Amino acid sequence: MIGALLVAALCLWALGALVALVSGADTALVRVFPFVTGLLGGALVAAAGVLAVYRPEGVVFLGAGFGVGRTSVRLDALAGLFLTLTGGLAAALSACLVGWARPVGRVARRGTAAGYLLLLGAVTVVLVAGDAFTFLFGWETMTLAFYILVGARRADKANARASWVTLAMGKASGAALLFAFLLLAGHSGTLTMSAWSHVPAGAFHDAAFVLVVVGFGAKVGLLPFQVWLPLGYAAARGPTRAAMAGLAVNAGFYGLWRFLGILGRPPIWLVVTVLVLGGVTALVGISFAAVQSRLNRAIAYSSVENAGIIVVGYGVALAGAASGRPEITAVGLLAASLQVLAHGVAKSGLYASAGFITSDNDSDDLETLRGAGRRTPVSGAAFALGSLSLAGLPPTIGFVSEWFLLEALLQEFRLHALALRLAMAGAGALVALTTGVAAFAFVRLIGFAVLGRAVRTAPDKDLADGGGLAGKAGLVLLAVSSIGLSAVAPFVVRFLARGLTPIVPASASLQALKSPWVLQPVFSGFSILSPSWLMVELPIAFFAVALATLVLSRGRFLRVRRVPAWRSASPAVAGPDRYSAFGYANVLRHVLGNVLGASHASEVVEPSGTPGTDEPADGTRLEVIMSVVEPAEAYLYRPARALWLLFARHAKRLQSGRLDAYIAYMLVALLAVLAAVAAWH
């Protein structure tokens, strides 16, 4: 039954992609049809995922269809958990895309819809792959789909660069996984991934573990591989960014989870590296998100932050595996899985709503978008709720997941290895600092894009605000899920516990339920939280305080007082000189100057027409220019690129055009390989 549902979904997506490629985007019906198939296929995948969680079928062998060993699919509870998330998000995002694609001009190329459906199919293949070839086939197809979506506007030079950077990082990720799989297959004698659990501990096992972390870490945006996210996400079109950032990235987390179950105990030095690197990635990501002036880049950098936070939870699980403490593994995986769920829902809602807002206003500049959410209430509300969840504020599911993660990090005293205890403590400090900066960053986005005073740049333009019933339904579903999942968090934990059974026993994960409606971090008596009761208590407390304020003020609370507004430290300052998104983030540029590599320069700007005068002319002003430096790009990739170009220039001298010289090169290379193999043995 599960296989039939998945095959039906893949067939629907193939049909939609075929229609998109053959028919183009001339009529509204043709533009929306591929996304309708995406919605239907997503619903089928979600149903298959739920069935796999409750009635898993294990590994199913399909024969030697590809000629590289036995092809197999794995329909266990872990695959079902991620299939449920993938299918649910695919259905909601496809509904949003139905509304977004209806206006003329938004789907200008044939590849947008086809690339989106190809991405859904590739992620599904990755989640159910049971052998190395099928997994890598799906993984490389996902990289191709990313390239298609990012390159939808490749006529623009910046977007063309973004597509190539995305493709290059995807190929680097695939190369790391290929080497890891070759090591594991060579020592196990099979391409079936479930058999790799018998690879003994040692140098090859640890090397494979490192390559797995690098391969999947590059896809999710772990430092220093995060440079492609702000480029690639910003270059994609509309809500297709949500499919990349909120849906497809989960395949990377699935791979980390899956190979933790396969490879078992990691080396302690790798656990320490993952914890510290995850914490640093989170802080760097949210710091850059908070100072961006472009909405899409700010959201993309927040994806880097979320990747770091999730990897920190994964690091806690690794610490439990390295110490032989399954309850630590359970609390780490539960925290990380809750964060994956919260990030998937909130980031999809945020990018989908931002897709409508930026498309309606033909810009993603925060100054241009000031107050845009006021004119599109559905998109604005979805944007605000997604932002609140990503900021980790109650009563959203983002608050529950971050609480659980911090509680998991506080269990470091239960471990005996000092290195692990110090790493968890350091990661906890970085995550705590990250949550504070995240609140700053997302309050800034809500304040300018939703609550600010509207600046109408195109008064005669018809604003879509969801683009019809389907688009509005998708946005509402994503927005409500950020709140609703928190209300039913105990049931979410039960579902996650079932899905994680291939890695940790359900009995260990279910210890997170102190009672049917109260959560605890697996360890009894440490601390508790009831998100369900918070959904009741917070509104009651709000109305109680409001009523008491009204009664004690004798009605003065409702009186409207009109006074001059304070703006930019001076009354009556308006227009381009008012408080800006850049100015709002300027404090953070100074406070976190070491993280951001912030620098500033001052120069006197004189009005034109007054050169050579001794006295300053009227209108002369002092202009301060602030800049930040992307550390990985500035200090790693640019020097590496310069070194590679230098090598290429010298290597060109070998291209003499003579056949005998080329044969000599091949002979020398062959002799070098033979000598290396002989020395190895």
Amino acid at residue number 444: R
Distance between first and last Cα of the chain? 50
Q: Which residue has the higher pLDDT, 620 or 323?
A: 323
Q: Are residues 39 and 154 in the same domain?
A: yes
Output the CA torsion 124→126→130→134 (10° steps).
Answer: 110
Q: Are residues 98 and 21 in the same domain?
A: yes
Would 606 be classed as within a structural domain?
Answer: no
Q: Are residues 68 and 117 in the same domain?
A: yes
Would 581 be classed as within a structural domain?
Answer: no
Query: In 513-549, which positions are buried (b, 16+ CB within 10 angstroms) versus exposed (e)?
Result: bbeeebbbbbbeeeeebbbbebbeeeeeeeeeeeeee
| Residue carrying structure tokens 């044969």 | 663
Q: Are 2 and 77 in contact (CB under 8 A)?
A: no
pLDDT tens, position by position, 240-273: 889 998 899 999 999 999 999 999 889 999 999 9
Token pair for 516: 């049917």
Q: What does the pLDDT average to over 355-379?
A: 81
pLDDT tens, position by position, 597-628: 766 666 666 655 545 545 445 555 556 666 67
pLDDT of residue 84: 94
pLDDT tens, position by position, 44-77: 999 999 999 999 887 777 766 555 667 888 888 9
Q: Give the integer Cα–Cα distance in Å for 485 and 491.
A: 9
Give residue 212's pLDDT band: very low, low, confident or very high (50, 70, 90).
very high
Torsional sign, CA 601, 224, 163, 644? positive
Q: Are 628 and 291 in contact (CB under 8 A)?
A: yes
Would 596 be classed as within a structural domain?
Answer: no
Token pair for 220: 């999710």
- Can you give the pTM of this predicted structure? 0.88
| Residue carrying structure tokens 């039913």 | 488
Question: What is the number of structural domains in the chain?
Answer: 3
168 φ, ψ (degrees, to nearest 5): -65, -45
Q: Are residues 450 and 486 in the same domain?
A: yes
Token pair for 410: 């506080």
Give residue 569's pLDDT band: very low, low, confident or very high (50, 70, 90).
very low
| CA atoms within 13 A of residue 471's CA, in its CB half-sphere | 24
Q: Give the integer Cα–Cα distance in Å for 632 and 461.
A: 41
Calculate the alpha carbon distances from 104 to 23, 156, 428, 472 in Å.
Answer: 15, 20, 49, 18
Highest mean predicted confidence (pLDDT) among 100-104, 206-210, 225-229, 617-621 = 206-210
Q: Are residues 249 and 273 in the same domain?
A: no
Report strand pairing: 513-515 vs 71-75: unpaired
Q: Give the integer Cα–Cα distance in Å for 672 and 679.
A: 11
Q: Are residues 163 and 62 in the same domain?
A: yes
Domain limits at 403?
265-456+465-555
Calculate the alpha carbon distances from 31 to 18, 113, 190 in Å.
Answer: 12, 8, 44
Would 617 be classed as within a structural domain?
Answer: no
Residue at a domain's end among 522, 555, 588: 555
Would 226 be classed as within a structural domain?
Answer: yes
Residue at a domain's end among 533, 555, 577: 555
pLDDT of residue 395: 87
Token pair for 489: 């968090």
User: Which residues lie closer than 8 Å to 139 by C-beta, 6 or more apart?
Assistant: 122, 126, 173, 174, 177, 251
Q: Are residues 95 and 168 in the same domain?
A: yes
Would 408 be classed as within a structural domain?
Answer: yes
Give the closest residue to 635 by CA, choosing from 251, 224, 139: 224
Residue at a domain's end among 529, 555, 581: 555
pLDDT of residue 599: 66
Q: Are 244 and 233 in contact (CB under 8 A)?
A: yes
Q: Are residues 27 and 95 in the same domain?
A: yes
Q: Are residues 253 and 332 in the same domain?
A: no
Q: Are residues 144 and 94 in the same domain?
A: yes
- For the cut 80, the answer to whether the pLDDT of residue 80 exceeds it is yes
Query: In 275-304, which positions are buried (b, 16+ CB within 10 angstroms) versus exposed (e)?
Result: bbbbbbbbbbbbbbbbbbebbbbbbbbbbb
Token pair for 375: 């004119």
Q: What does the pLDDT average to over 652-662?
A: 75
Torsional sign, CA 2, 483, 226, 149? positive
pLDDT of residue 105: 66
pLDDT tens, position by position, 445-500: 888 888 776 655 444 455 555 567 888 888 999 999 999 998 898 999 999 999 99
pLDDT tens, position by position, 570-604: 444 455 445 677 777 777 777 777 767 766 666 66
Would 595 be classed as within a structural domain?
Answer: no
Average pLDDT of the chain to the nearest whole number:
83
Output the CA torsion 331→333→338→341 (10° steps).
Answer: -170
Q: Give the integer Cα–Cα distance in Å for 369 and 449.
A: 5
Q: Are residues 248 and 299 in the same domain?
A: no
Report strand pairing: 621-627 vs 599-605: antiparallel
Would 335 be classed as within a structural domain?
Answer: yes
Q: Are residues 235 and 289 in the same domain?
A: no
